[in-house]
Structure 1
Amino acid sequence: MMEFGSFDEKTAQEKTEPEPLAGLTQREAAERLEKYGRNRLPEPPMAGPLRIFLRQFLSPFIYILMIAAIVSFMLGENPSGIFILAVLILNAVIGMIQEYSAQRSAAALRNMVKGVTHVIRDGIGLSIDVEELVPGDLVILSSGDRVPADVRLVSSHNLAIDESMLTGESLAVSKNAGAEVEEDALLSERVNQGFASSIITHGRAQAIVTATGTSTEIGKIATHVTQERTSEPPLMIRIKNFTYQVSAGISVAIFILIIIMLLKGSYSIEAIILMTIGLAVSVIPEGLPVALTVALAIGMERMAKCSVIIRKLIAVEALGSCTFICSDKTGTLTVNELTIRRIVLPDGHVIQVSGEGVAPGGEIHGDTELRHLRELCVAGVLANESHLNYAKGEWISDGDIVDIAFLVLAKKLGMSITELRRQQTQLELIPYEPENAYCGSVNFDGDTKWLYAKGSPEKMLEMCDQMETVHGPVDIERHLIEEQFESLARQGYRVIALAKREVVENHHHKMEQMSFLGMVAMIDPVRKEAYDAIRRCRLAGIEVAMITGDHPSTAKSIAVELGLCKEHERVVTGTMIRQAMTKDPEAADDLIRPARVFARIEPQQKEQIVDSFMRQNHFVAVTGDGVNDAPAMRRANTGIAMGKRGTDVAKETADLIITDDNFASIVAGIEQGRVVYNNIRKVVALLVATGFSALLLFFMTVIAGLPMPMIAVQLLWLNLIANGLQDVALAFEPKEGNELVCKPRSPDEPVFDKRLVEDILVSGIVMGGLAFLLYYLALQSGESITMARNQTLMLMVLFGNIRALSSRSETRSIFSLPLRDNWFLTFAVPIALLVHVSAMYTPWISDVLQIQPISWEQSVQLVLMALILLVVEETHKWYQRRRARF
């Protein structure tokens, strides 16, 4: 593609041979279309549903269960085989749906460059499909157009382009075809170029297409977005590790058990195989995928009530795992609307202005009747091309955001914009030109012609020899005004100065001998809710950094106000990162590690920042609303898009969307994400503990030389009754209230941490030990094997119920957790028990399961034995709470 940014205007025109103003010939355009391809963005790689479905079977759990299913069918145990296959297929379908829905992340990017554009070919103006544009085409651009490709301006008039979607800069960028820029200039500094998909806010231009399709800046972003995400969600990492650990443990344990049974010589091969199948199904937590999906789905529903929409189910928990949030400034931490906060009059009067956005709410603190204050406001309204109207219950603005800020100020002062413009007829408009750095308007009030101007303070001072005061115009004190300006600039304000003079000559553009009216300090105000949200993030152990394309002084001012950094701390700029990256990643890490404010950052650099924090072992969430945020959002562990202001690209790339653009909603999402993970741990604690107890029971039985304590079909039934409803019910547990006072989990923290392993061992040993004791005593007392197994199965069902209730919290007592907080579990426990008791009295079921009713005396004994588990677990929790205090 062509590089024009560093060429001067004449050289750029010469590049459109043979005739610059005639554009390309149709023949040349066709040849270039063949060479460079169509002006469109890449299609994302798509995997078909079948391929995604088959991928779901790549898991050690699945391998073991598939072998168990095959062996079951070979031995004629069809119910067992069908049961196992049903679980496998359900798990695969759920996984396929989740993964297939994530493949549309680049669709909005392709839509952004579709449409019609105006070009000159063979000296004739034409309207063509945007996809037919080629490098070298001469395009005509005007206000309201979307720039169709990357271009080098050939001529421009009063041109400004909104590039916030690419650069993060909240203000439209004034463009100048005659400007020269360095070859390695930042995007925000390339004032002689335009970029695909940015919006022309006002003015017109002719430009040469320099890049199309994937070679454009947005095309480079699209290429990044369509690539596979390099980072896995933390839950997937933990579950994967958990799967391998449990699979290996179960395989080794069952292998050892088989060896012992073979050495004993009292068990037939068929009995050993059936026991292995039943035990594998009972011990393997195959219910985890379903419970996991339910937990995530419940979390997704709860997050939706907090204005957080989840696009990818696994992102529910990922948000709760993040240790670092990289937040966009414009539109995320701020409202993305310039607001006048301070008015500084030449005689030293300072007027404070409150409120934010285009709504004229707020107060003016100061003498609002000052004559020169109102004259300043008149100048801001008349040297103005924008409009502000109230319709359908809201304020609607149209035009440049600087102009709109002056209209809002007029409303706050109680001035009628319509009446003011009617009283002072506009005779001539002096449009804003970048090289002039001001705009103006000549108006007639019925008696006198007035020239009003506004622009940069430096330019306005050059034009003025007087300044307005309470006592009228006096000689200007430049040093005083310069000090005021420098003070405002250091505080991160965008400063606009205003001036006026009476027009007595015919030359309206004579910009001299004017009277300085004062300066206004504007800022894109911080969202009110952002302060508390950042405080709560820190309370939860989550660091927050602000990444923006704005000027460093503006970024630092906002960051200090939010408490993200101190006055003495450094702002890291894109230039600094570029220089560090030329050395090595470690130098970049050293630069980025302590920083919490990043300014003048380009999209690729935002990715580099995310990569750096991820190398530092952080799980990173990236928020944003523009195209410039998309690559970093894709790169990060979790991408968060703003719903109201977010572009389609940002929303499609994100894992979740904040519908109210409220940074505080992220905190609510983090809390729910942590609730989801805690509930998943509760499910794991239930499933693994009951499975471990069954494994321990069989080990002790085989070592003692006793018959198997349960047959294969009883193990399958126990797995269904003890865990089938209760594990899913635990996914409905509400928050415990301490989620946001705990530090984030380490990315390397396994599901089986010390606390969970200890809990599983304690409960598993108690359940397995007591079940073996019951089975042994029953046989010793002369009970038949069938009755001994019947009582053992009943005890294991009771254990499952108590274990489910106890698993509601890892540390809190079961008696401190109201049953009404989880009605699903409250009903699931007695229903599971009722189903098992009913099976005892249902002939055909009892025959298959080889169970029968038990006496009341036996029932009481079993309940008392089951309550031992409750006593042990309550004692263990008390010990954990006591240990945590010391």
Structure 2
Amino acid sequence: MQADVDETDSNTTCPWHYLPAQDVAERLKTEATGLSAAEASQRLTSYGTNTLPLPRLPSFSRLFLRQFISPLIYVLLAAMLVSLIAGKLADASFIGLILLINALIGALQEFHAHRSAQALRKLMVSRARVVRDGETSEIPAEDLVPGDLVLLSSGDRVPADLRLLDAIGLEVDESVLTGESLPVFKRSDILCGPQTPIAERVNACFAGTLVAAGRGSALVTATGMATEMGKLSRTMETAKTVQPPLFQRIERFSKKLTLALLVAVALLAAIELARNTDPLVIFMTAVALAVSAIPEGLPMALTLVLSVGTRRMVKRHVIVRRLVAVESLGSCTVIATDKTGTLTENRLTAREIRFLDGSGVTVDGGRLPTEESPPQHENSRVARVARAAALCNEAELHPLENGDWHSSGDAVDQALLGMAHKVGVDPRRLLDSWPLLDQVHYEPALGFAATLHENSAGAPKLVCVKGALEKLLPMCDTMTSATGNTPLDSALAHITLERLAERGARVLAFADGDWTDNCEFTGNNLRGLNLLGLVGMFDPLRPEAAGAVAECRAAGIHVCMLTGDHPRTAMSIARELKLSDEGDSPVTGGDLVQAQAEGPHSLDALTADTRVYARVSPEQKLIIVQSLQRQGQFVAVTGDGVNDAPALNSAHVGVAMGEQGTEVAKQSADLLLTDDNFASVVAGVEEGRIAYQNIRKVVFFLISTGAAEVVLFVLTTSLGLPLPLTPVQLLWLNLVTNSVQSIGLALEPGEGDEMRKPPRPPGESLFNPVMVRRVLVSGLVMGGLAFACFYTLLARGWDLDAARNIVLLLMVLFENVQVLNSRSESRSIFHQPIFSNPVLLLGTLAAQALHILCLYSPLMQEVLSVSPVSATQWTALLSIALLQLLAMELLLRIGKSDRGTG
């Protein structure tokens, strides 16, 4: 039986953040002394433990069987079955082995990828401080129940969703949940509207977030799967994953291949039936044609290309968790990136010092220098602001022996100490000259902090104040200018504030002055001070982010930023990145809610060209990704927080930050960046495009040589000639010599222009018009010349086995020439360095050497029905094979001429 606690959450008309704290306590049936042990035990039985259940993983056998759901696999399974019926055990065994290895690799990868939701458990804390029966104690966080009275302090991980009862200087870092880069000030006395988004619920705390400063007490309102973290877990489990771009293209290609094969077989069967040919002969011919047309080695070739791409990506700081993601990243047309921790460093820095006369300085936003005492800044006004920032400060900053720095305390105070050090003010030495006498601690309700310092020189005591400008203006009579202290101009102060705020800065004002009063030092009697200036604090961009965004745009990739930050902050970052123009405006979470209510068409129209999304919730990030996918875009999502996990999981390819990313994000993603460098995404795109090019090269090579065999068979059968090659000889061509050369094509380096081309259209088939033309020309030239050779030899009275021996050697030579033609779709073979891919060169020589070995091996002579050929025959056959090179070069020239004319 469930305890009589109202089931009130954010989905009801009376959510917790909308109720006064007293009403929350009444609804939760919680006294000032907390729950009793007996009541807590009863509620634990009713609500369950405060944990996230492990997702139900599909079994390995199920994943293994799923690997066979593909049109290409269906074709290969049919070919294997036909080979078994025809008694071709060697063919069937080889095809079966390929399918088995391919399925094992895919199943292992998917089994690992399905563990993503389990990582959410790692964000649940192990212990929590609670008040029960009037006593404070630590209990396992999994034993928390709704109604528990929890105590929070700096450094705590919030153990459940909470409604605050009391908050003293409480700041919570919610970036892992909302994407908000700055800690959020929490207040227990403010009531939020029923529809207030998570990022703006200042009277609530959420499971998995971190207390950055202050302390407070709160009541547990949700545990386990009922928390916002739990809702994200449920979203991940129900999120619909999409088929990777490569699989989509392979599926379309397989369907076309199957249709073409059926048409060819039907045509062949009709011709032979019209000639009253024995049905068994027709069946054997159809099997031979199927073996010729089906690229049995394609699945393994795809695995090889993607494996090579994986190794190359590792060298460029990208770890691949799912093999197919290599190509997926290269195919993406949109990159939807998180801001905090991805484009920015997720590190608050005090970067701008602005004075009220319009002047100011920009402080280096990078890491602290290794020298302990940098030179003093030449501007005395800057040094004065830095002095106030360093003295009115509760953080600590210490150099370490290895040259790094250790800092602790409030993030804002840490940023101010860093700024002071960079302009030449040593906070530790400063305190020796100005010992602290008294201070007023910062409180959100107060809006400022102040310190009182002794002057070692015997002059009046020094007051330093920092806080919101509107709080400091009543305290000040003067302001600092280039000529000294002048009368305060409040209008100038507000103009300076607005200019900084427009750029997305968090702004603090600073003031100092003499203290001559003998009364108590409190926040109520500060007056006659001098307003020094304003400091703008930013989460700095990663140094490489702007260049990476520019490179993506040059490559035709639409980059959009998704963040939980304020729209003004988001637009400031976007303009700094040159991601948006001056006239652009962001789409907010509220805009998305309205568009979603109007229907998918309205939502898709809103997301079609948007570059900046602000104040978006985790669920809305997923909605944006799904909207883009509905529009036919191939979407890559980057992120590092829990809030990014559902979108990472549902995108065509998810990219997580490997260094500072949460475990949830890492487990949800297909790719990990080992250096958290957005530029590595661009490097991954380039490697992905190279991988796709190499897949096309392998496909073209296998299909074009298979097409040549089909042309050869169709022509010979149409004229009533015997089969030009035996099934064993076809197997030798397709699975031995072809496979050796495919390895070399899989290792082809990039052509250098991958990032200067737009993405391939999402709807474009792997077998696009360019490849169709090249396959048709190749197949007709090679198949036609091989037929002409076979026909001529038989007409001259050659023995059938001898004629097949010559045709087989000619086809091997054709393959050796064709593999060189396959190295590029747009470049002449004479414009490519022959030694840039030594494996391809060695593979081609090895394929030819294998066949020569067979010509002189008694065993292989018997198996393949081959024999040595004379030097004259070698020369003639090589000359014929080189005609294929001439034909492809001519096609390339014609294609360039057509494009130039167009």
1:733 maps to what in 2? 748
Mapped contact 1:39–1:132 kept (Cα < 8 A): yes
**Which residue of 178, 181, 184 corresponds with 2:195?**
184
Instruction: Tell me: CA distance 1:14–1:283, structure 2 relative to 1, closer, same or farther (3 Å).
Output: same
Deviates more, 1:825-834 or 1:303-312: 303-312
**Which residue of 237, 246, 251 corresponds with 1:235?**
246
Deviations 1:176-230 (A, max 9, x none): 1111111111112111100000000111111111111122111111122233543
1:660 maps to what in 2? 675
**1:144-293 alignment runs, 5 A limit:** 144-227=155-238, 229-267=240-278, 269=280, 271-293=281-303
2:392 maps to what in 1? 383
Mapped contact 1:337–1:358 kept (Cα < 8 A): no
Deviates more, 1:351-360 or 1:870-879: 351-360
SS of match in other structure, 1:5: helix
Deviates more, 1:763-772 or 1:574-583: 574-583
**Which residue of 410, 427, 432 corresponds with 2:420?**
410
Q: Which amino acid aligns with 2:337?
A: S
CA distance in 2: counterparts of 1:482 and 1:70, whole angstroms: 80
Mapped contact 1:813–1:877 kept (Cα < 8 A): yes
**Which residue of 489, 512, 524 corresponds with 2:526?**
512
TM-score by length of 1: 0.96
Deviates more, 1:423-432 or 1:595-604: 423-432
Deviates more, 1:779-788 or 1:473-482: 473-482
Mapped contact 2:25–2:147 kept (Cα < 8 A): no
1:334 maps to what in 2? 344
Mapped contact 1:118–1:141 kept (Cα < 8 A): yes
SS of match in other structure, 1:385: coil
Instruction: Tell me: CA distance 1:73–1:567, structure 2 relative to 1, closer, same or farther (3 Å).
Output: closer
Mapped contact 1:456–1:496 kept (Cα < 8 A): yes
Q: Which amino acid aligns with 1:53?
A: F
1:54 maps to what in 2? 65
Following TM superposition, the consecutive aligned residue runs of length 4 or more in structure 1 with deviations greater than 6 angstroms are 364-367
CA distance in 2: counterparts of 1:361 and 1:478, whole angstroms: 40
Number of equivalent positions:
882
Q: 1:326 Cα deviation (Å)? A: 1.5
Mapped contact 2:743–2:843 kept (Cα < 8 A): no
CA distance in 2: counterparts of 1:880 and 1:42, whole angstroms: 59
SS of match in other structure, 1:397: strand
Deviates more, 1:313-322 or 1:256-265: 256-265
Instruction: Tell me: CA distance 1:18–1:739, structure 2 relative to 1, closer, same or farther (3 Å).
Output: closer
Instruction: Tell me: CA distance 1:572–1:511, structure 2 relative to 1, closer, same or farther (3 Å).
Output: farther
SS of match in other structure, 2:165: strand
2:606 maps to what in 1? 591
Q: Which amino acid aligns with 1:320?
A: G
Mapped contact 1:455–1:496 kept (Cα < 8 A): yes
2:637 maps to what in 1? 622
Q: 1:667 Cα deviation (Å)? A: 1.5
1:6 maps to what in 2? 18
Mapped contact 1:214–1:220 kept (Cα < 8 A): yes
SS of match in other structure, 2:241: coil
CA distance in 1: counterparts of 2:382 and 2:150, whole angstroms: 45
Q: 1:530 Cα deviation (Å)? A: 2.0
CA distance in 2: counterparts of 1:4 and 1:74, whole angstroms: 70
**Which residue of 478, 490, 501 corresponds with 1:466?**
478
Deviations 1:235-261 (A, max 9, x none): 110011111221232233224323433
Q: Which amino acid aligns with 2:605?
A: D
Deviates more, 1:594-603 or 1:207-216: 594-603
CA distance in 2: counterparts of 1:275 and 1:629, whole angstroms: 55
CA distance in 2: counterparts of 1:290 and 1:198, whole angstroms: 45
Deviates more, 1:460-469 or 1:101-110: 460-469
1:681 maps to what in 2? 696
CA distance in 2: counterparts of 1:414 and 1:51, whole angstroms: 64
Mapped contact 1:285–1:688 kept (Cα < 8 A): yes
SS of match in other structure, 1:332: coil
Mapped contact 1:24–1:120 kept (Cα < 8 A): yes
SS of match in other structure, 2:442: strand
Q: Which amino acid aligns with 1:78?
A: L
Mapped contact 1:721–1:797 kept (Cα < 8 A): no
Q: Which amino acid aligns with 1:112?
A: L
Mapped contact 2:659–2:676 kept (Cα < 8 A): yes
SS of match in other structure, 1:352: strand
Instruction: Tell me: CA distance 1:79–1:619, structure 2 relative to 1, closer, same or farther (3 Å).
Output: closer
CA distance in 1: counterparts of 2:706 and 2:798, whole angstroms: 26
Deviations 1:333-357 (A, max 9, x none): 22222333332234x2623123114
**Which residue of 490, 493, 501 corresponds with 1:481?**
493
Deviates more, 1:474-483 or 1:871-880: 474-483
1:126 maps to what in 2? 137
Q: 1:267 Cα deviation (Å)? A: 4.7
Instruction: Tell me: CA distance 1:226–1:498, structure 2 relative to 1, closer, same or farther (3 Å).
Output: same
Q: 1:678 Cα deviation (Å)? A: 0.8
SS of match in other structure, 2:441: strand
Instruction: Tell me: CA distance 1:612–1:76, structure 2 relative to 1, closer, same or farther (3 Å).
Output: closer
Deviates more, 1:571-580 or 1:847-856: 571-580
Q: 1:71 Cα deviation (Å)? A: 4.7
CA distance in 1: counterparts of 2:582 and 2:110, whole angstroms: 46
CA distance in 2: counterparts of 1:401 and 1:861, whole angstroms: 79
SS of match in other structure, 2:648: helix
Mapped contact 1:154–1:207 kept (Cα < 8 A): yes
SS of match in other structure, 1:759: helix
Q: 1:473 Cα deviation (Å)? A: 4.5
Mapped contact 1:42–1:222 kept (Cα < 8 A): no
TM-score by length of 2: 0.94
Root-mean-square deviation (CA, aligned residues, Å) is 2.2
Instruction: Tell me: CA distance 1:736–1:422, structure 2 relative to 1, closer, same or farther (3 Å).
Output: same
Deviations 1:550-582 (A, max 9, x none): 222222122122212222221222222222222
Instruction: Tell me: CA distance 1:833–1:358, structure 2 relative to 1, closer, same or farther (3 Å).
Output: closer
Q: 1:434 Cα deviation (Å)? A: 1.5
Instruction: Tell me: CA distance 1:62–1:547, structure 2 relative to 1, closer, same or farther (3 Å).
Output: closer
CA distance in 2: counterparts of 1:134 and 1:277, whole angstroms: 68
Mapped contact 1:437–1:456 kept (Cα < 8 A): yes
Mapped contact 1:327–1:624 kept (Cα < 8 A): yes
SS of match in other structure, 1:428: strand
Q: 1:684 Cα deviation (Å)? A: 0.8
Task: Say if 2:813 is the partner of 1:798.
Answer: yes
Q: 1:641 Cα deviation (Å)? A: 1.4
Long gaps (5+) in structure 1: none
Quick one: percent identity of the two aligned structures?
43
**Which residue of 848, 854, 872 corresponds with 2:887?**
872
Mapped contact 1:358–1:397 kept (Cα < 8 A): no
Q: 1:607 Cα deviation (Å)? A: 1.8
Task: Say if 2:97 is the partner of 1:86.
Answer: yes
SS of match in other structure, 2:352: strand
SS of match in other structure, 1:563: coil
Mapped contact 2:479–2:530 kept (Cα < 8 A): yes
Instruction: Tell me: CA distance 1:185–1:743, structure 2 relative to 1, closer, same or farther (3 Å).
Output: same
Long gaps (5+) in structure 2: 1-6, 9-14
2:12 maps to what in 1? none
Deviates more, 1:333-342 or 1:551-560: 333-342
SS of match in other structure, 2:261: helix
CA distance in 2: counterparts of 1:444 and 1:367, whole angstroms: 23
Instruction: Tell me: CA distance 1:357–1:444, structure 2 relative to 1, closer, same or farther (3 Å).
Output: same
**Which residue of 347, 364, 377 corresponds with 1:355?**
364
2:786 maps to what in 1? 771
CA distance in 2: counterparts of 1:855 and 1:291, whole angstroms: 34
Q: 1:502 Cα deviation (Å)? A: 3.5
Instruction: Tell me: CA distance 1:83–1:616, structure 2 relative to 1, closer, same or farther (3 Å).
Output: closer
CA distance in 1: counterparts of 2:177 and 2:344, whole angstroms: 17
